Structure 1
Amino acid sequence: MADKQINLPAKLINGGIAGLIGVTCVFPIDLAKTRLQNQQNGQRMYTSMSDCLIKTIRSEGYFGMYRGAAVNLTLVTPEKAIKLAANDFFRQALSKDGKKLTLLKEMLAGCGAGTCQVIVTTPMEMLKIQLQDAGRLAAQRKLMESQAGPNSSVAESLTARPTAMQISRQLLRSEGIAGLYKGLGATLLRDVPFSIIYFPLFANLNKLGQKTPDGKSPFFVSFLSGCAAGSTAAVAVNPCDVIKTRLQSLQRGINEDTYSGIIDCTRKIWRSEGPAAFLKGAYCRALVIAPLFGIAQVVYFIGIGEFLLGFLPSHRN
């Protein structure tokens, strides 16, 4: 198995297709996760994922649940492609001696994959979060307006719904390329441990369905393995995801804390909201990641990319 060469273009296609399908299916839950993680004590607009989605539909319409989806759909293809292909690359590089990968080497391969993907993940998530959270901030201002009486400045701010291009241009003008990489450190703290947990766990769960060492597991085994490994890793790194979401949010609600960095953000969340705040949106994130990676692994192991490029299934790892 170690002497087989991976076909990088095929892996990139597989990762891209998987990302597009997965994001389309679970994006509303991801929107709820972002809004739940961003709301702070005293300014709670939503009590749960279902409450968030219901209020979003009522105030913004059905497509309000897909605010920011265009950014995700545009960038998820390179993001997922890099993540999955990089893991394959590092696994192959670490198994050149022909021996079975040890758990440590599987974790190192996952670490490499998580590090590579932040090139795309950081700007994608930064832009997505601004668009996803805009509705929460608008609803909060509307509530404050109804309590304080008519206020023209508040009313005007409700109509200001920036686009991804507007946010990008503004950041590039004011901060340069570094503006799009706001929260890079927190993204690394989330994605590297996620990949270290996810890829070895998936590989070992998926092996349970293999009848022979070189055989492939059935589709349902790959899907369930992706779901189980994805949800486990997602919950494990959720505290880092909360910190990342807070740091990447450019706009704050009424009386909400601002943060200067990872340590400052961690300290303020712990002090004002308690340790439970680091688990905000954890079940939403698990519901997002489970099918996302389940679908990704099924598409990846079916080998649509190889088929499109005219390669036989035997060319897949």
Structure 2
Amino acid sequence: MGEKRVSLPAKLINGGVAGLVGVTCVFPIDLAKTRLQNQQGIQVYKGMFDCLAKTIRSEGYFGCYRGAAVNLTLVTPEKAIKLAANDVFRQQLSKDGRLPLWGEVLAGCGAGTCQVVVTTPMEMLKIQLQDAGRLAAQRPVAAPAQPAAPGPAPPLVAPPPQTQSSRPQRPSATGITVELLKTRGLTGLYRGAGATLMRDVPFSMIYFPLFANLNALGRESAGGQADVQAQASFWQSFMAGCCAGSVAAVAVTPLDVIKTRLQTLQKGEGEDTYRGILDCTRRIMRREGPSAFLKGATCRALVIAPLFGIAQGVYFLGVGEMVLGLLG
């Protein structure tokens, strides 16, 4: 076959390390994405940079990493499962060292399906922690208004960031988990699992075949020399991961908006709650229009591109093989 056999423990280590490095680098942009996607009526943030600036002003620099502990804890098994499952499926579907496009798509579908068992509770907890700052900034606007003199109503704007002394108590991942398990059981942590599956399966079906084909171009141009090929493989893997990740991320942004809305437990004043995927889709379309389904698209591209670029770079560096070699 001419292909290196898949070492599952090494792939799991590679995926885990890649996830940790990637999430640490891009988490603040992911936080901005969540807050922008959850805005329905009151415009607390005008865009990604405005969101990050207001977050730092009101919550401090580490406010941009609210919910990162959950992500860093669970992203290791999530990325490990996703990348390793895709590798295993590709190997099983290959014949004589070749994999047709339908096999690449099917392998990506399998990888996206496998990861949902970890992705759903991880994002369920992360979203509540990330969105708490937006709700806190919005709350003063929801207070009863004082009688005003006759005249045109002032425009609805977000309040100034809260000071240190006026910050409300922030939720914790442990507290949210305990409350969900107590009130809704294990299914509470898997709220939005259908929407997560609906987002992650198409993402993987787009991402993995696109990455494999972009990455193969770099390998072919390496000239067949082992040392040059290794260097080209790393950089080509990184760039292919960035390009494929950004394309797939933007393509499934409407599904990500639906998933985020369904998994957000606490709503601001006048914000809709949803009974399911179809109800969420109808309400967003009716109240906010088609453009609402692209909220956070730029943030998603800026998150996913480096996340998967780093992931594939680390993956093809063979960190897992090196670790296992040292332990062996």
- The two structures have a TM-score, normalised by structure 2, of 0.89
User: Match of 2:22, as an amino acid?
Assistant: G
Secondary structure at the counterpart of residue 307 of structure 2 = helix
- For the residues of structure 1 that align with 2:223 and 2:109, how far apart are their CA atoms? 28
Equivalent pair of 2:85/2:114 in contact (CA under 8 Å): yes
- For the residues of structure 1 that align with 2:106 and 2:206, how far apart are their CA atoms? 10
Rg (Cα) greater in structure: 2
- For the residues of structure 1 that align with 2:292 and 2:146, how far apart are their CA atoms? 29
* Superposed counterparts of 1:187-198, under 5 Å: 187-198=196-207
* Superposed counterparts of 1:39-78, under 5 Å: 39-40=39-40, 42-78=41-77
User: Match of 2:200, as an amino acid?
Assistant: D
| Count of aligned residue pairs for this structure pair | 304
Contiguous gaps of at least 5 residues in structure 1 = 150-155, 312-317
Query: Post-superposition shift, 1:99?
Result: 4.2
1:201 is matched with 210
Query: Post-superposition shift, 1:5?
Result: 2.5
Counterpart of 2:135 (choices 134, 137, 140) is: 137
1:7 is matched with 7
1:31 is matched with 31
Query: Post-superposition shift, 1:159?
Result: 1.9
- For the residues of structure 2 that align with 1:254 and 1:267, how far apart are their CA atoms? 20
Query: Post-superposition shift, 1:278?
Result: 0.3
- For the residues of structure 2 that align with 1:269 and 1:143, how far apart are their CA atoms? 22
- For the residues of structure 1 that align with 2:217 and 2:46, how far apart are their CA atoms? 39
Counterpart of 1:276 (choices 291, 298, 304) is: 291
Equivalent pair of 1:130/1:251 in contact (CA under 8 Å): yes
Give the 4+ runs in structure 1 shifted more than 6 A. none
1:116 is matched with 114
User: What do residues 278-299 of structure 1 show as CA deviations (whole Å, max 9, x unaligned)?
Assistant: 0000000000000000000000
- For the residues of structure 2 that align with 1:182 and 1:169, how far apart are their CA atoms? 15
In the superposition, relative to structure 1, how do residues 141 and 304 fare at CA in structure 2: closer, same or farther (>3 Å)?
A: same
Secondary structure at the counterpart of residue 80 of structure 1 = helix
- For the residues of structure 1 that align with 2:310 and 2:20, how far apart are their CA atoms? 10
1:105 aligns to 2:103 (yes or no): yes
- For the residues of structure 1 that align with 2:59 and 2:77, how far apart are their CA atoms? 30
1:233 aligns to 2:242 (yes or no): no
Equivalent pair of 2:3/2:97 in contact (CA under 8 Å): no
Q: CA RMSD in A?
A: 2.0
- For the residues of structure 2 that align with 1:146 and 1:16, how far apart are their CA atoms? 48
- For the residues of structure 1 that align with 2:188 and 2:73, how far apart are their CA atoms? 19
1:314 is matched with none
In the superposition, relative to structure 1, how do residues 24 and 56 fare at CA in structure 2: closer, same or farther (>3 Å)?
A: same
Contiguous gaps of at least 5 residues in structure 2 = 148-164
1:167 aligns to 2:176 (yes or no): yes
In the superposition, relative to structure 1, how do residues 148 and 234 fare at CA in structure 2: closer, same or farther (>3 Å)?
A: farther
- The two structures have a TM-score, normalised by structure 1, of 0.92
